[in-house]
Amino acid sequence: MDKKLESKRLFLYLALSFFLTWIVFFTYIITGHKWDGSNPRMEGLSALGMLIPVLAHVLTRWITKEGFPLTGKGSMMLGISLKNKKWMFYLFALFMPWIYFEIGHGLSLLIYPDLFDPEYYKVMGIAKNMIPLLPLAAIINGAIGSFAAFGEEGGWRGYMMPKLIELVGTKKAVFIGGIIWGVWHAPLTCVGHNFGLDYPGFPYLGILIMCVDCTFMGVMLTYITQKTNSIWPATIMHAVNNANPSILAVYINTERAAEVMPNPIVGFVILLIPTIVIGSICLVLLCREKGTI
């Protein structure tokens, strides 16, 4: 491997990913806009931003004449194979977000029992008989509607992480990659996505927490990508994660959070604990297989 050439390719990829994303989002910020998830224009802009990493991937390969192999070492990892028990990692991708979200919401209720509201699902406009089906609906919607998630995973896991691992090793790569991915989200954090606008340390604390989230979520996504030599499990898992599968979530009165929590961002930190634990386990497994432990 020509490390100097690979470093140049990685730098070009990151420059394109950040420039093309930030020029759009920071233009939106300086014109005074804030995050509104109910606004179709904002949702559309967010989905557009998610497609930029894979666009940067394609542009980098084209500019540097790296080529576009679909499978194998150094490829775009677009192949699908269920052989040699690889199908297990597709199941991991489908169900793991439900597991860590459910555990996270359970921890929230254990630490702050006053958040429990047995009637809150009515406020959310959800029929009671539909509550047990919410995780399944999120999994199906995530698996089917994973086009935007492909935009991110086709770039971060399909290009950035393989190059980082080759250049600096697995352990350093997952932390560097997580910080890069988290900072890339900074424009959305600055307009109130995920954490809102009213918390101490805004927006820097939010960006820091996002980096932690992206690091440990990124470990899981990198692990299943490496195990299958394909970006599709990571794409599915990313999409299901974004669909927020959970039953307990409909019993958590978010309007009470400001009253019982010392900082609005605490709820997200609690929700992040299972991701950190599961991500740490995946990191150990990933490093063992790479021979770095």
Distance CA 279, CA 59 (A): 31
pLDDT at site 40: 64
Q: What is the dihedral of CA 283, 288, 289, 290, to 10 degrees?
A: 90
What Å distances lie between residue 22 and 26, 30, 126, 193, 196, CA to CA?
5, 12, 36, 15, 19
* Residues facing residue 252 across a β-bridge: 116
pLDDT at site 293: 46
| Contact in structure between 266 and 195 (CB atoms under 8 Å) | no
pLDDT at site 292: 52
Q: List the domain boundaries for the chain.
A: 3-290
- Per-residue tokens: 89: 């990692």
End-to-end alpha carbon distance in the chain: 23
Helix, strand, or coil here: 169? Answer: coil
Question: pTM of the entire structure?
Answer: 0.94
Distance CA 233, CA 5 (A): 29
pLDDT at site 31: 67
Q: DSSP character for 19?
A: H
Distance CA 60, CA 74 (A): 13
Q: Which amino acid belongs to residue 72? A: G
> SS3 for 282-293, per residue?
HHHHHHHHHCCC
The segments of the chain whose pLDDT lies below 70 read 1, 28-33, 35-43, 145, 290-293
pLDDT digits (tens, 9 = 90+) for 175-222: 999 999 999 999 889 888 888 888 889 999 999 999 999 999 999 999
